[in-house]
Structure 1
Amino acid sequence: MVSIGTPLLWSLFALFVAVALAVDFLALNRQGARKVTLRAAAIWSAIWVAVSFVFVGLLWWRLGGLGGDAVARELANAKALEFVTGYLVEKALAVDNIFVFLMLFTYFAVPPEFQKRVLMIGILAALVLRGLLILIGAWMIASFHWILYVFGAFLVFTGIKMWLAAGQEPDLDANPALLWFRKHLKVSDDYDGERFFTRIDGHRTATPMLLVVLLIGVVDVVFAVDSIPAIFAITTDPFIVLTSNVFAILGLRAMYFLLAGMHERFHLLPYGLALVLVLIGAKMLLIDLYKIPVQWSLLGTVLILGATMVLSLLVSPRHPPSPRGAYPFQRKRQDGKRS
């Protein structure tokens, strides 16, 4: 499998990610358990987007986009376009992650000041999972060309499933992962700060915070399985696949706090994401018949997402959002007290 990734590029990228995570952790620790303001979320979101485009600009320059010969410029332009398209697709799919995180935080009544640490843990888990799945996906594509058709069909199926499920309220009480965790873990009714375990009557007991982190890990796996085939439909270069994924994930925490209060405004966005998945899946299925240019994939993604966001602002939701309950153990305890 052809890749532009040289030992130097991989080393510089790894160093950058390590520094970025260190800065994020340092900022997190200095802030302490405090609610993230909309202004701070907007600033950090803008910083992460700017850093991503600085990276692709440097990559474009390093490949010969400025001052190179015609072949080098063509390669630099192609890889930069692949990165931007992959970054946008992964960023768009991350919005669905954010809405699921919001649902989990609301369901478990996670205090706003504790949410950012949970998100940071989720981001670290997502980075590790994406890295492993990308390596596996790259090996499979290099070894079995027909796996591209499987990925394409999976994306089309996922897009159709997402379209049919759009607008429906998931039933977390019946979620298999949550049922399994509740069956095998003794969980307290209340939080104990940001701790994952507490002591009740001398016994070590998990807090709801641990359940939230475990479920976010499950969400990371599910969305990684959806998004990795999507990026391989844009490019099969492992360096571009991994870097575009990582940069999309690094800004996830800030983007969550920026969009958390706007999820009801963009109620049609899941339909747009479903169409994007179908579009990318179709591109992968047609790869041996007609290779759709990356710029057309980028244009289609931007038009679909832009249209659904505009329509969301113009069209009111058919059904108003129903208020979600608190953490189920808390509800049961409250019901027991009333009776």
Structure 2
Amino acid sequence: MSISPLVWTITILVILALLAFDYFFHIRKAHAPTLREAALWSAAYVGAAVLFGVVVLVLGGTEMGGQYFAGFITEKALSVDNLFVFLVILASFRVPREDQQKVLLFGIVFALIARTVFIFLGVALINSFAWIFYVFGAILLITAGHLLKPESHGEEEADNVIVRLARKFFHTSENYDGDKLFTVENGKRVLTPMLLVMVAIGGTDVLFALDSIPAIFGLTQNAYIVFTATAFSLMGLRQLFFLLDGLLDRLIYLSFGLAAILAFIGAKLVLHALHENTLPFINGGHHVQVFEVTTGLSLAVIIGVLAVTIVASLVSPAGKAQTAINNARRHAESYLDLGYTADPAERERVYQDLTDEVTAIEKMDKKYRDKAKDVEAIRAKVREAQARHAEYLRTAG
């Protein structure tokens, strides 16, 4: 199915209109979205993506429609995985919750730009060099191996080389000034942490594109399908962040599921490369007769692996322990961030939430508690919050 320039133009304008709508009607005025708001708009964007897929299915046929849905689901799953890193960055820079939406929208826009560049670069490479499928396959297999490593989401993501250079060569403020990128301190114009956050997000977006684009090219080489599936997977990512906030760490097996999917697509790319082989040192430069993975099989594997991964994570005692421990960490950090002039009722509320979470954790099986990620660091933070509260009570008394 050939896509006319008019269809391309309309599609791009619709995506830009959705981004503009998101900014002017939801983000321009800083606020922390409610769970209901996040759920409604997440559903709306997923609904729009599904509706677009149905149109592709009707107009482009079963094969093209299947490629779109396989690509969309894969990219959406990878986007959820990316939210882990966004969470680390926002927490590391202590971005005020009401300003996090603007940071996330910037991340989405930058990711869309970066991935669009890689998409058209990928199309050019595929059209010129059939052996590029070997390279894409190798990238995905290496990425799958990386996801299986423990601590694949580290704090270093929030302090990449661009951020370190910005801190070294430019004056940076320690405090936020609303959502401003620059502020004035002691008569000098300086960068705010908000700008550094956006630099960190932008830097990781480029790395994400290196993984996601080969993955979707393993499912389809149609540039229009690759672009639209990628774009719709990014739409609503901001709302999904707030909807899943507190549940992300519960998906303890997500990295294993994504590793399986990327390894599957990587193997599919290698098989396709062998089928289209022109390299003289493989089979004398002739095509190799190998099993070709169909779009239907790809879609079934992707959905099946994600379903098993999510269900296993949600019912796992280890997942429940991880969620409770991370909630304790968040409550402890919230308490430690309270100033000495904080409202006493609010202080008691936050500390009570922490106490309730700690009590629930103590009732859990010790083997699951002790295996939780960063458990010792979180326990130290909880103890610090408890000591701070004891000191507050002595002072207040």
TM-score by length of 1: 0.87
Instruction: Identify if the C-alpha distance between structure 1 residues 5 and 256 changes in structure 2 by more than 3 Å, giving closer, same or farther.
Output: same
Aligned counterpart, 1:236: 221
Offset, 1:109: 0.7
Maintained 8 Å contact 1:166/1:270: no
Percent same amino acid at aligned positions?
A: 38
Structure 1 position 9, deviation (Å): 1.8
Hey, what's the Cα distance between the residues in 1 that align with 2:153 and 2:203?
Answer: 20
Aligned to 2:45: 48
Is the aligned partner of 1:214 residue 2:199? yes
Superposition deviation, residue 62 in structure 1: 2.9
Q: What is the CA RMSD across the aligned residues, in angstroms?
A: 1.8
Show the counterpart of 2:21: 23
Bigger relative CO (Cα 8 Å, ≥ 6 apart):
1
Q: Which residue identity does 2:133 align to in structure 1? A: L
Q: For 1:8, give the aligned amino acid.
A: L
Matched residues in 2 for 1:58 and 1:167: separation?
38
Q: Does 1:92 align with 2:89?
A: no
Say which one has the larger Rg.
2
Alignment check: 8 A CA contact 2:92 2:158 kept = no
Give the Cα–Cα distance (whole angstroms) in 2 for the partners of residues 210 and 60 of structure 1: 42
Matching residue's letter, 2:301: G
Other-structure match for 1:37 = 34
1:13 to 11, 14, 27: 11
Residues of 2 paired with 1:168 and 1:176: CA distance? 17
Letter in 2 for 1:190: N
3-state SS, counterpart of residue 126 of structure 1: helix
CA contact (8 A) 1:28 1:117 kept: no
Task: Say whether 1:81 aligns with 2:102.
Answer: no
* Residues matched between the structures, number: 309
Distance (Å, rounded) in 1 between the aligned partners of 2:249 and 2:109: 27
1:131 Cα offset (Å): 1.1
Equivalent-residue separation in structure 2 for 1:214 and 1:174 (angstroms): 10
Which amino acid is 1:129 matched to?
A
Tell me if the contact between 2:88 and 2:158 (Cα under 8 Å) persists in the aligned partners.
no
Whether the 8 Å contact between 2:160 and 2:200 is mirrored in structure 1 is: no
Any conservation in 2 of the 1:191–1:209 contact (CA below 8 Å)? Answer: yes
Deviations 1:89-130 (A, max 9, x none): 000000111111011111111111000011111111111111
Structure 1: segments with no counterpart, 5+ residues: 64-75, 325-339
- Any residues of structure 2 matched to 1:121-270 within 5 Å, and which? 121-166=106-151, 169-171=154-156, 175-270=160-255
- Unpaired runs of 5+ in structure 2? 276-289, 323-370, 379-397
- Counterpart Cα distance in 2 of 1:245 and 1:173: 24
159-168 or 253-262, which moves further after superposition?
159-168
* 1:302/1:211 CA distance change after superposition, 3 Å: same
For 2:257 and 2:214, how far apart are their aligned partners in 1? 18
Aligned equivalent of 1:306:
307
| SS of equivalent residue, structure 1 residue 148 | helix
Question: What TM-score results when the alignment is normalised by the length of structure 2?
Answer: 0.74
Offset at residue 29 of structure 1 (A): 4.6
Confirm or deny: 8 A CA contact 2:39 2:239 kept in the other structure: yes
Are the structure 2 counterparts of residues 85 and 45 from structure 1 closer, same or farther at C-alpha, using a change threshold of 3 Å?
same
What CA distance in whole angstroms lies between the structure 1 residues aligned with 2:169 and 2:306?
Answer: 41
- Structure 1 position 290, deviation (Å): 2.1
1:61 aligned residue:
58
In structure 2, give the amino acid aligned to 1:23: F
1:219–1:172 Cα change, 3 Å: closer
How far residue 8 of structure 1 moved from its aligned partner, in angstroms, is 2.7
Q: Secondary structure at the match of 1:191?
A: coil
- 2:337 counterpart residue number: none
Contact 1:99 1:260 in 2 (8 A): no
Question: What letter matches 1:310 in structure 2?
Answer: V
Please tell me the residue identity of whatever aligns with 1:22.
A
In structure 2, the CA distance between the partners of 1:170 and 1:29, relative to structure 1 (3 Å rule), is: closer
Counterparts of 1:168 and 1:212 in 2: how far apart (Å)?
Answer: 17
The answer to whether the Cα contact below 8 Å between 1:4 and 1:239 also exists between their aligned partners in 2 is no
Q: 1:55 to 1:168 in 2, by over 3 A?
A: closer
Counterpart for residue 328 of structure 1: none
1:275 matched to 2:282? The reply is no
